[in-house]
Amino acid sequence: MSITVVLLQMIKLFLIMCVGYFLYKVKMLDDHTRVHLTKILLYVTTPALIIHSFIENAGAEKRDMLGELFIIAAAMYILLPVAGLIITFVLRVKKPLQGLYMFMTVFSNVGFMGFPVADALYGTEGVFYAAVFNCVFNICVFTMGVVLINYPKENDNGVPVLNLKKLLNPGILCCFVSVIIFLLEIPVPGVIMEVFESVGGLTSPLAMMLVGASLAMMNIREMLGDIRIYIYTFIRQLVLPLLSWPVIRYFIHNDTVAAITLILVAMPVANTAVLFATEYKRDEKMAAKGIFLTTLAAIITIPAVIWLCLG
């Protein structure tokens, strides 16, 4: 893969992110609008993008790969907590923050940045693979994620509280519908496909603008002064993907699947980290720092990782 192509795509996404940052700063995009645009992204454009990618990639070859893709995604979310535990030990993270650091290590920004990058580099095939990972992400974040964010805090019974009702969210329902259409090869009229393609096409620019708006909300001064989060950002965004690549390449022989897996590992911390930190009364400012610094670093580290591993 040409590093020039990767750099140009990352620059394009970065500039769209800057548009969102600017719109928020000049108050053309306020908190009220941001909340509603996020809902549109989660409930409308992303489901349309996922469904379109599944339908577009329908066929015996991709159908045979579906089970393997789910296994690969599940394996990734089993191994990443181990990496998170090692990172917290190496950085000597204080006990109350260990769960948050592990959560940030495991859950990358698959939706807001993963889809745009996969789409930019590999088109609908890349989105299809990323969508399968997103299905597993949605299941894990509301199960394993709750356990991690609460570590070592526990309830009176010694077990973190899991709200399984949250598994019935748009992301999982969309994946379920997509898989059914994909496996049963349900015919979809051309005009409906065009609607899915057009609406889904809004996901990348909308997602990156919302990432920019989220960064604009954060206090830059509060991001400075904590050396540990800088070291964590370096390890998470560069060291972890580079160390993951030999393992990914050993077990995954499909070049595109291996590349998408690597790219998703290299994504910055998911915005979900702040939401979970707030809900479970963890350090939301630290979560915001993690999102801010890893997102900015990703503009450089993702092309670097792709160049070193795939170039």
- Predicted confidence (pLDDT) at residue 154 exceeds the cutoff of 80: no
250-300 pLDDT per residue, tens: 999 899 999 999 999 999 998 888 878 877 888 888 888 888 889 889 989
State the residue for tokens 């309830």: 155
Among 22-31, 45-54, 85-94, 162-171, the least confident range: 162-171
Residue 2: partners with Cβ closer than 8 Å, 6 or more residues away: none
- Identify the pLDDT of residue 163: 61
Residue 69: partners with Cβ closer than 8 Å, 6 or more residues away: 129, 132, 133, 257
59-87 pLDDT per residue, tens: 767 777 888 899 999 999 999 999 999 99
What average pLDDT does the segment 107-116 reach?
A: 85
Distance (Å, rounded) from C-alpha 214 to C-alpha 221? 15
Among 49-63, 99-113, 129-143, 237-251, the least confident range: 49-63
- Identify the pLDDT of residue 2: 62
Within the chain, strands assigned E span none
What does each C-alpha distance from 221 to 272, 273, 285, 292 come to in angstroms? 22, 20, 12, 12
What does each C-alpha distance from 227 to 64, 91, 93, 230 come to in angstroms? 47, 10, 12, 5
- Predicted confidence (pLDDT) at residue 91 exceeds the cutoff of 90: yes
Q: Which residues form the domain of 240?
A: 3-310
Quick one: angle between helices 284-310 and 255-265, nearest 10?
150
187-240 pLDDT per residue, tens: 889 899 999 989 988 888 888 888 888 888 877 776 666 789 999 999 999 999
What average pLDDT does the segment 14-28 reach?
A: 90
Confidence of residue 156 (pLDDT cuts 50, 70, 90): very low
- 59 by Cβ neighbours in 10 Å (0-12 / 13-18 / 19+) ranks as exposed
Q: For residue 205, give the amino acid letter.
A: P
Q: For residue 96, give the amino acid letter.
A: P
Q: Specify the pTM.
A: 0.83
What are the φ/ψ torsions at residue 189 (nearest 5 degrees)? -55, 145
- Identify the pLDDT of residue 204: 81
158-183 pLDDT per residue, tens: 445 566 666 677 777 888 888 888 88
Among 10-24, 33-47, 65-79, 150-164, the least confident range: 150-164
Tell me 108's DSSP state: B
- Check if the beta carbon of residue 263 is closer than 8 Å to that of residue 110: no
- Identify the pLDDT of residue 159: 47
Confidence of residue 157 (pLDDT cuts 50, 70, 90): very low
Distance (Å, rounded) from C-alpha 19 to C-alpha 285? 24
- Identify the pLDDT of residue 285: 80
Domain count, the chain: 1
Q: Is 269 helix (H, G, I), strand (E, B) or coil?
A: strand
Q: What angle do CA 128, 134, 135 make, to 5 degrees?
A: 95
Q: For residue 276, give the amino acid letter.
A: F
- In whole angstroms, what separates CA 205 from the centre of its chain? 15
**CATH no. for residue 124?**
1.20.1530
